Chains A and B, each alone.
Chain A
Amino acid sequence: MAKERVVTTTINGKEVEFQCQSRQTLLESLRDQLGLTGTKEGCSNGNCGACTVIMNGRPVVSCLVLAMEASYAELRTIEGIGSEAGLDELQQCFLEGAALQCGVCTPGFIVQADALLKENPDPTEEEIRFYLAGNLCRCTGYDKIVRAVQAAAQARKVSK
């Protein structure tokens, strides 16, 4: 028991190797072994969305993914949104729209909203709210977050 295995995976476009135990979640490995602390832990049972990452093109709560399941998967975390060239539209709209206060839920929301806009580039307010229902925010009351996502949807259309 408690033996470790090496997992090979791709994170934010880069191939990465790390060692983990079976009982470690992807969230744990991202934060503790890979130093990618942008993904946050809020509840550890999939109810708050703060740990959201993209796995093989789909948003998942990484607290309910075993690290070993990431083997040969394609992962994208908040660190992979935007680039040296600049912030992503979502990030920019969150800043301009003051869509964050304490900011701890923000990485999860941005990753989730990114997944939404890729699936549905022109969502209604109701569609945005439904898609984000798995991400809890206690500070903002969601108003400015939803508006930021709407603004980002517009910005992405313009930049196309």
Chain B
Amino acid sequence: MSTVEKPAYKVIGTRPIRHDGEDKVTGAAKYGGDVQLEGMLYAAILRSPHAHAKITRIDTTQAEALPGVRAVMTSANMPDPGDRMVDLGEGTINLRHLSERVLARAKVLFKGHPVAAVAADSIHIAEEALELINVQYEALPAVLDVREAMRQDALILNDDVRTEEVGTQDGVADKPTNVAKRFLFEKGDPKKGFAEAELVVEREFETATVHQGYIEPHNATAQWHENGQLTVWTSTQGAFTVRQQIGELLGIPLDKIKVIPMEIGGGFGGKIAVYLQPLATELSRMSGRPVQLVMDRAAIFEATGPTPGSYMRVKLGATRDGRLLAGDAYVAFEAGAYPGSPVGAGCMCVFACYDIPHARIEGFDVCVNKPRTSAYRAPGSTQVAFAVETIVDEIARQLEMDPADFRLQNAAREGTRRVDGPVFDRIGMIETVEAIKASDHYQSPLDGPNQGRGIATGFWFNAGLRSAVTATVNPDGTVSLVEGSTDIGGTRTSLAMQLAEALNITAEQVAPSVADTDGVGLTDVTGGSRVTFATGIAVVDAAAKIRQQMVDRAAKIWECDADSVSYEDGQLVGPDQQRLSFKEMAQRMAEMGGPIIANGICTEAKQAGAYATHCVDVEVDPETGKVQILRYTAAQDVGTAIHPSYVEGQMQGGVVQGIGWALNEEYYYDDQGQMRNPTFLDYRMPTSYDVPMIDTIIVEVPDPNHPYGVRGVGEVPICPPPAAVANAIHDAIGVRMHRLPMSPPRLMAEILRCRGNKD
């Protein structure tokens, strides 16, 4: 449903088959693990068995002597990159910490922390060689709980970490600590606000560590050429950031490195920071052969970047007639072994759905002996949405208000100031709530035993950042579109569609491709829900330049002023109704001045932000605590849906990830800091048999910052589900859950506890 009169687009809003589709359904598409080079070696990584330990000795001589082993490396083979921050595009990290995370130096800080790497003729020999590497550790106690890690007397993970204060005047403290950052945002006078509130609800929440769960393992293949150039093939969300990270970590000039992004089998934020690429690069240099490294599934769980577990305390105060007056949030995120959780983003999102006059938000980025976290689809927003939307539901119930009406009454809108400062541009929070309220789902009765319905809203900023594209007109009237945004979900097609719309040609006339770092201008990561928006802006920029070039050429042909020529509906129209079609002009390019090529860029644009409101029906088995999802509807403001199928797909995918997060996904740690469930058997992601069809309502409130009104769609769909499911559980059986996941044993324990309280 559109909220403004929508232009009569010709291509936008249609559903062409994606350009890379045939390769993907026939198995022809090449992903990083499919790369095969002559003479290629296979590498494996030795990982720490301890969650926290000092490395006292590493002896690799036996491994080096094993026949078939071509290179063995430890951190002794990596330069010290220095103590600098590097911006990855979705999060920043200290370069020294990144280096240590790739290969440990003096300490290991999480179970699975890489300690050494081997390249050999076969993967089996490489694995045998790992067993011959002798590492001596001095084990230390593991710090595993975020609140424990924050205590004054906690065991310190990193001696160089000091608390940096953000949002306050306090600067950087001087004492070694596990608390790397403290955020503080304030608005109005919270004390006053709570004093005036007639109903105040404060609750504590805990969420477990959860992984992005992409099906394709991390991979990297590196080859040094005779001319001193390096080529790296890898599945990544950002070829340019990989190039930068390799360069910084190994001290290699950027112009010597080419990163070729292969097709990528899922990322969700987890394939931005490097894990394998520097190791493959160095092993290749040492051995003189190409080297391929692929991560195994246990290592992916234990040693890449899951999303933080958290402890949160949230308080909301409202008037009797349902107006929110005050909010207070205390948010502590587990960063993992090194600083850099998305707690800042979480703090910015926590009250972003509502217009609350008085609020205080305090956030902490805390190191613990777990893998260092990474972005996971709207990083930080799902955790805080779970907390806030649960309390909002509780307040609405207590006030006997329809939860949708409560949200409408307090909704953030254009002009609302977020607690951390920015003022909202045109946003669609209200429209998504109204869409749910009017939906068939919300209007249908639900009265089976132990069945319940819940709704929740979520928010994500969406990024802008930088993109570059090059469009070349071919003599047959097609256009080659070269862009640098690796395609995880179909963006090469939605970009081709925007180009086609801008030139009034068909999507099939555009041949999009994702180039390597030598082939296109600097493009920031595929993440932050930015590609269709920002690379789209670059595409439209290029299209405008192509149109202009065509106008100029036509003017030459017709021997008139360029001002007398217009570009309409894919045709050049000149004086006396002379016309040339796009294809005809393309055919005449060579004789009329040569190729028509245009670059497009996007550097400054910012998105207004995206909202989603979801509605879910559940059935709870009160004797086992198991929850079935009966029905799910997701409404989301997408600005303008370029390719509705892919927009729906992003919504549905995010919903199901959110359902997994809500019900069953968690890192199960023992008290030694060992993850006990690093397999898909016991890290329980939803299967097709666990979920119903996911209905979607596309709401279109165009973003004024994009020529077609696009808003990023990829991330916000993961924010509402855990809260929506929790609210539905409460509606079904009267039990409120404040911990994720709401797995059967936990729900059953809560059901029994509530029954016990009643007796």
A–B direct touch in complex (beta carbons closer than 8 A)? yes
Chain B residues with CB under 8 A of A82 = 25-26
**With A35-B36, A87-B26, A141-B691: A101-B680 Cβ-Cβ less than 8 Å:** no
The interface stretch among B77-85, B304-312, B546-554, B644-652 is B644-652
Task: Determine whether A55 belongs to the interface, using a CB cutoff of 8 Å to chain B.
Answer: no
A66 to chain B, nearest CB (A): 13
**C-alpha spacing A138/B689, complex, angstroms:** 14
Chain A's closest residue to B695 (CB) is: A143
Contact between chains at A103 and B265 (CB < 8 Å): yes
B405 to chain A, nearest CB (A): 29
Task: Determine whether A29 belongs to the interface, using a CB cutoff of 8 Å to chain B.
Answer: no
Within 8 Å by CB of A101, from B25, B212, B646, lies B646
The interface stretch among B507-515, B570-578, B617-625, B653-661 is B653-661
Interface centre among A78, A90, A106, by most B CB within 10 Å? A106
Chain B's closest residue to A39 (CB) is: B27
Contact between chains at A98 and B15 (CB < 8 Å): yes
User: Which residues of B in the span 1-40 have a Cβ within 8 Å of any Cβ on A?
Assistant: 15, 17-18, 20-22, 24-31, 33-34, 36
Indicate with 1 or 0, residue by residue over B681-692, a CB within 8 angstroms of chain A CB atoms: 100011111110
**With A45-B679, A104-B266: A138-B215 Cβ-Cβ less than 8 Å:** yes
Task: Determine whether B216 belongs to the interface, using a CB cutoff of 8 Å to chain A.
Answer: yes
Contact between chains at B25 and A94 (CB < 8 Å): yes
Contact between chains at A142 and B265 (CB < 8 Å): no
Task: Determine whether B140 belongs to the interface, using a CB cutoff of 8 Å to chain A.
Answer: no
Contact between chains at A98 and B657 (CB < 8 Å): no
Task: Determine whether B363 belongs to the interface, using a CB cutoff of 8 Å to chain A.
Answer: no
Contact between chains at A21 and B297 (CB < 8 Å): no
Chain A residues with CB under 8 A of B26 = 38, 78-79, 81-82, 87, 91
Task: Determine whether A26 belongs to the interface, using a CB cutoff of 8 Å to chain B.
Answer: no
Indicate with 1 or 0, residue by residue over B231-271, a CB within 8 angstroms of chain A CB atoms: 00000000000000000000000000000000111111000
Task: Determine whether A124 belongs to the interface, using a CB cutoff of 8 Å to chain B.
Answer: no
Chain A residues with CB under 8 A of B648 = 98, 143-144
**C-alpha spacing A130/B679, complex, angstroms:** 21
Contact between chains at A103 and B681 (CB < 8 Å): no
Within 8 Å by CB of B679, from A43, A97, A100, A133, lies A43
**C-alpha spacing A21/B68, complex, angstroms:** 15
B276 to chain A, nearest CB (A): 15
Contact between chains at B297 and A106 (CB < 8 Å): no
**With A138-B214, A141-B655, A146-B688: A100-B24 Cβ-Cβ less than 8 Å:** yes
**With A37-B30, A103-B263: A136-B645 Cβ-Cβ less than 8 Å:** no
Contact between chains at B646 and A40 (CB < 8 Å): no
**C-alpha spacing A142/B690, complex, angstroms:** 10
Chain B residues with CB under 8 A of A44 = 296-297
Task: Determine whether B176 belongs to the interface, using a CB cutoff of 8 Å to chain A.
Answer: no
Task: Determine whether B217 belongs to the interface, using a CB cutoff of 8 Å to chain A.
Answer: yes
Chain B residues with CB under 8 A of A67 = none
**With A138-B215, A138-B653: A23-B265 Cβ-Cβ less than 8 Å:** no
Within 8 Å by CB of B213, from A31, A41, A138, lies A138
**C-alpha spacing A158/B691, complex, angstroms:** 29
Chain A residues with CB under 8 A of B693 = 125, 143, 146-147
Contact between chains at A142 and B22 (CB < 8 Å): no
Indicate with 1 or 0, residue by residue over A66-87, a CB within 8 angstroms of chain B CB atoms: 0000000000011101100001
Chain A residues with CB under 8 A of B27 = 36-39, 77-79, 107
Contact between chains at B490 and A101 (CB < 8 Å): yes
**C-alpha spacing A23/B266, complex, angstroms:** 29
Chain B residues with CB under 8 A of A103 = 20, 24-25, 29, 263, 265
**With A42-B217, A133-B687: A102-B30 Cβ-Cβ less than 8 Å:** no
Chain B's closest residue to A90 (CB) is: B25
**With A106-B24, A137-B215, A138-B214: A40-B680 Cβ-Cβ less than 8 Å:** no
Contact between chains at B264 and A102 (CB < 8 Å): yes
Contact between chains at B679 and A138 (CB < 8 Å): no
Task: Determine whether A119 belongs to the interface, using a CB cutoff of 8 Å to chain B.
Answer: no
**C-alpha spacing A144/B654, complex, angstroms:** 14
A12 to chain B, nearest CB (A): 11
Chain B residues with CB under 8 A of A95 = 17-18, 21-22, 25
Within 8 Å by CB of A98, from B214, B488, B490, B685, lies B490
Indicate with 1 or 0, residue by residue over A1-45, a CB within 8 angstroms of chain B CB atoms: 010000000000000000001011000000110011111111111
Contact between chains at B656 and A102 (CB < 8 Å): no
Chain A residues with CB under 8 A of B597 = none
User: Which residues of B in the span 479-503 have a Cβ within 8 Å of any Cβ on A?
Assistant: 488-490
Q: Which residues of B contact A (CB under 8 A)?
A: 15, 17-18, 20-22, 24-31, 33-34, 36, 124, 212-217, 263-268, 294, 296-297, 488-490, 643, 645-646, 648-650, 652-657, 679-681, 685-691, 693-694
Name 20 interchain pairs, CB-CB below 8 A, sorted by A.
A32-B36, A37-B27, A38-B26, A38-B28, A40-B215, A41-B33, A81-B26, A87-B25, A100-B24, A102-B488, A103-B20, A104-B215, A104-B265, A104-B266, A128-B688, A132-B688, A140-B649, A141-B656, A142-B686, A142-B688
Known pairs A98-B649, A145-B688 / 15 extra A-B pairs, C-beta < 8 Å: A41-B33, A43-B297, A45-B681, A47-B680, A78-B26, A95-B21, A97-B645, A101-B488, A101-B650, A103-B29, A103-B263, A137-B688, A139-B653, A140-B649, A141-B655
Which 7 A-B residue pairs are closest in the complex by CB-CB distance? A38-B27, A104-B265, A103-B24, A98-B645, A141-B656, A141-B652, A47-B680
